[in-house]
């Protein structure tokens, strides 16, 4: 294709020379060079404008990558805003995006077992792959007193025990979030050394914001009147409560498919709220809030929402909401829950 374009350019120049004469040679030569350069640029693209292609599965690592990479990266999140992450299945377009990216960032664990098969089918020798669960200390998924175990074991025979026993929601602890941001930053710096200082500065600035949130959470817990939280919902905050020394009761574990709790679970949570005089009952994002409504009606507790940052609504995504924004809102909720 390039040879064909060059031939056309040269033939055109020769014809122009024969018409205009030798006095126009210098002008035509310059025009010929500019035409060739323009043609090659159109074909090959401007190499200086190439960006790191980064693909993430869900919102937390998308937000971290966005904060670090800014305009220097081409970033894509596979999970659509406003949808449930635990039921996500990749489309052919998603698989192509993974195959063509420079850096792929996923969580790991039971909900993302599909990743393993896809990566095994690709040549990943030129791709940096980051699993969040590989870079922080993981905790077991647990069933606490009163909790209803509606965890989805339907495909258990296809997954290893090692994958299914850990809680996946590692980013809910700001301390873990800082570790994750540092790892993503290192990967960007290694893959694009020319912009390493840019990535480092952005990461440092974002880490400072997350650390400020971490400090605020510590202060709220330190001065709180109680340590127990009541979640009338799934509980994807194992790492959060471990970080700050909190206790919890909840209707379901973090990756449960359940939305309708049985009578025993609801009765247990109602009794907890009453006997410990808990001021609020907590739901998470995208909840139908039915369990919380029942408990609030029976106890007089206020219903509030604590956001796991698993995913965000379409409106929030388009507005540019960040992990920091979400955690700042959680600070206010935690203060109300522990006072």
Range of 13-22, 47-56, 320-329 with top mean pLDDT? 320-329
Of 110, 109, 217, nearest to 154 by C-alpha is 110
181 and 326 in one domain?
no
Instruction: State the pLDDT at residue 123.
Output: 95
Instruction: State the pLDDT at residue 292.
Output: 96
Instruction: State the pLDDT at residue 256.
Output: 64
pLDDT (mean) for 36-51: 49
Is the predicted pLDDT of residue 47 greater than 70, yes or no? no
Instruction: State the pLDDT at residue 185.
Output: 98
In order, the DSSP letters of 221-281 are: HHH-S--EEEEEEEE--HHHHHHHT-EEEEEEETTB---S--HHHHHHHHHHHHHTT-SEE
| Residue 246 Cα to chain centre, angstroms | 25
Q: What does the pLDDT look like over 60-76, one tens digit per residue?
A: 999 999 999 999 999 99
Structural domain boundaries, residue 86: 52-146+168-212
Tell me the percentage of the chain whose pLDDT exceeds 70.
79
Residue 304 in domain: yes
192 and 105 in one domain?
yes
Q: What does the pLDDT look like over 133-162, one tens digit per residue?
A: 999 999 998 888 878 775 544 434 443 334
16 and 32 in one domain?
yes
End-to-end, the C-alpha distance of the chain in Å comes to 71
Instruction: State the pLDDT at residue 48.
Output: 44
189 and 112 in one domain?
yes
CATH of the domain at 282: 3.40.50.1980
């Amino acid at each position: 294709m390039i040879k064909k374009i060059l031939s056309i350019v040269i033939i055109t120049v020769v014809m122009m020379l024969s018409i205009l004469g030798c006095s126009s040679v210098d002008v035509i030569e310059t025009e010929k060079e500019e035409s060739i350069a323009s043609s090659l640029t159109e074909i090959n693209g401007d190499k200086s404008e190439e960006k790191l292609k980064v693909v993430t599965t869900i919102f937390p690592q998308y937000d971290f990558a966005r904060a670090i990479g800014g305009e220097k990266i081409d970033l894509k999140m596979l999970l659509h805003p406003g949808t449930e992450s635990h039921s996500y299945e990749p489309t052919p377009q998603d698989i192509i995006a993974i195959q063509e990216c420079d850096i792929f960032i996923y969580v790991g664990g039971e909900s993302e077992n599909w990743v393993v098969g896809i990566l095994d089918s690709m040549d990943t020798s030129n791709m940096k792959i980051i699993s969040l669960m590989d870079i922080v200390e993981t905790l077991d998924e647990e069933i606490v007193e009163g909790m209803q175990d509606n965890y989805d074991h339907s495909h258990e025979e296809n997954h290893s025990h090692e994958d299914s026993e850990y809680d996946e929601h590692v980013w809910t602890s700001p301390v873990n979030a800082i570790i994750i941001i540092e790892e993503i930053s290192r990967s960007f710096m290694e893959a694009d050394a020319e912009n390493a200082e840019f990535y480092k500065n952005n990461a440092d600035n974002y880490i400072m914001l997350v650390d400020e949130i971490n400090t605020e959470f510590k202060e709220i817990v330190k001065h709180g009147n109680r340590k127990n939280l009541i979640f009338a919902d799934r509980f994807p905050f194992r790492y959060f409560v471990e970080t700050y020394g909190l206790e919890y009761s909840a209707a379901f574990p973090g990756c449960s498919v359940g939305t309708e709790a049985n009578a025993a679970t609801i009765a247990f949570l109602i009794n907890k709220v009453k006997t410990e005089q808990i001021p609020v009952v907590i739901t998470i994002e995208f909840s139908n809030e039915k369990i919380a409504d029942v408990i609030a009606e029976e106890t007089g507790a206020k219903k509030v929402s604590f956001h796991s940052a698993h995913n965000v609504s379409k409106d929030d995504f388009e507005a540019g909401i960040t992990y920091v924004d979400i955690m700042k809102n959680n600070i206010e909720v935690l203060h109300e829950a522990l006072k």
